[in-house]
Amino acid sequence: MRGLIVLWIVVNIIAIISALFSVHLSPDTLFKFPYLHLLSIGSLFFLINLPFYAAYDRLRED
């Protein structure tokens, strides 16, 4: 259980760093049309966290 939470935190930190890096590489896209950029960052976090939510629920039930 503790390993899953540590992995969850590490993967989210990597996702935050990659999101900040993508904003740094394309600031003009962020300010001209920010919705697509913000939507992609939001969907990145949703797709990354979805399996962790399912696994955490199953482990918590046991």
Tens digits of residue pLDDT in 37-57 = 777 788 888 888 888 888 888
Phi, psi of 26 (to 5 degrees): -135, 65
Percent of the chain whose predicted confidence (pLDDT) is above 70: 85
The closest alpha carbon to 22, from 46, 55, 6, 45, belongs to: 45
Q: What share of the chain is helix, strand, coil (3-state, %, to 5)?
A: 95, 0, 5
Per residue in 1-49, pLDDT tens? 788 888 888 988 888 888 778 777 776 665 676 677 777 788 888 888 8
- The per-residue pLDDT for 4 is 83
- Tokens 């001209």, residue located: 32
Nearest-CA neighbor of 48 among 3, 22, 18, 23?
Answer: 18
Q: What is the pLDDT of residue 56?
A: 81
The token duo for 47 is 């797709």
Q: What is the pLDDT of residue 31?
A: 64
